[in-house]
Amino acid sequence: MNIHTYEKFWLAASMLLIVGFILTITYGSVGLGIAMIDDSSPTVDPDNLGEHPGFSDPGVERVGENEYEVHVIAVQFAYFPGEIEVPANSTVTFRLTSEDVIHSFSVVGTNANTMIIPGEVASLTVETEEPGEYGIICSEYCGAGHHDMEGKLVVVP
């Protein structure tokens, strides 16, 4: 290698860096970055949840062998149902919506966490393992009773 080759290398490297910066900015500005709830999430009418097949009677439903679907409605300042019981060693998909403002569904001590937006249905799938009890808390400020908004997830044998 002579000096000339080094120069070429660094020229190319700095060009790459600039292109990289531009790509990063473009990528961020078109919103492909973090999509917590995408535009294609199913929509519901928050004022008529009673007419929705899943949300008219929220709760746990067995949808396959070791597979469960749980519809949950969040309101100021509770979850319906407030206590959710699911079997260990199964796949559980939560379908969540809100009747009023933005809430969240955060299973304490796990990475299971999603925002709940009125008019949209958030989905969250978890694999249950050992039996145990988990707290569910709302981590989006939703009003005066936000700190009291909690539920319980019980994984039964």
Name the site residues for ligand CUA (rule: CB under 6 A): 77, 103, 138, 140-142, 146, 149
Q: Which is nearer to ligand CUA, 60 or 75 (CB)?
A: 75
Q: Which is nearer to ligand CUA, 54 or 151 (CB)?
A: 151
Q: Which is nearer to ligand CUA, 128 or 136 (CB)?
A: 136
Q: Which is nearer to ligand CUA, 60 or 102 (CB)?
A: 102
Cα dihedral sign, 73-74-76-78: positive
Q: Which is nearer to ligand CUA, 10 or 141 (CB)?
A: 141
Question: In the complex, what is the shortest distance from the CB of residue 107 to ligand CUA, in angstroms, rounded to a whole number?
Answer: 14
Name the β-bridge partners of 69. Answer: 61, 93
Q: What are phi and psi of 46, to 5 degrees?
A: -60, -25
What is the length of the chain? 157
133 near 122, Cβ under 8 Å?
no
Question: In the complex, what is the shortest distance from the CB of residue 104 to ligand CUA, in angstroms, rounded to a whole number?
Answer: 7
Question: In the complex, what is the shortest distance from the CB of residue 48 to ligand CUA, in angstroms, rounded to a whole number?
Answer: 21
Name the β-bridge partners of 43. Answer: 120
Q: What is the Cα–Cα distance from 149 to 57, expressed in whole angstroms?
A: 20
Q: What are phi and psi of 8, to 5 degrees?
A: -60, -40
Question: In the complex, what is the shortest distance from the CB of residue 100 to ligand CUA, in angstroms, rounded to a whole number?
Answer: 9
Question: In the complex, what is the shortest distance from the CB of residue 44 to ligand CUA, in angstroms, rounded to a whole number?
Answer: 18
Name the β-bridge partners of 124. Answer: 94
